[in-house]
Amino acid sequence: MDLDDTSRCPRGDRCATCGGGDGLAVATVATAVGVHCLTLCVGDREAERLPRPASWTQAIELAAAHCTHLGIDVDAMAAAMEQEGGKE
């Protein structure tokens, strides 16, 4: 299970960090509650300037949305995160 797969994630038309539109692509972010995707410009992607979710509730909602992009449920994401954590 590749939680960083963004092939089915919708790309926004603005960077989530700076609001710019230069070289936008979807990136993934891991938080304590799951992995979610967001749209970043090339500069913020390379510098890893990521906006923090406004709240845990929002982080959970973002992770749940990314689950639907991956075609899995939240339980499968949690299991995959546990596996990844065990490898490191």
Q: Is 15 in the site for Zn ion (CB under 5 A)?
A: yes
* 78: its two tokens: 């949690």
Name which of 51 and 86 has its Cβ closer to Zn ion: 51
Name which of residues 64 to 83 contact Zn ion (CB under 5 A).
66, 69
**How far is residue 40 CA from its own chain's centroid?**
11
Name which of 35 and 86 has its Cβ closer to Zn ion: 35
Name which of residues 18 to 57 contact Zn ion (CB under 5 A).
18, 20, 37, 41, 44
Q: What is the binding site for Zn ion (CB under 5 A)? A: 9, 15, 17-18, 20, 37, 41, 44, 66, 69
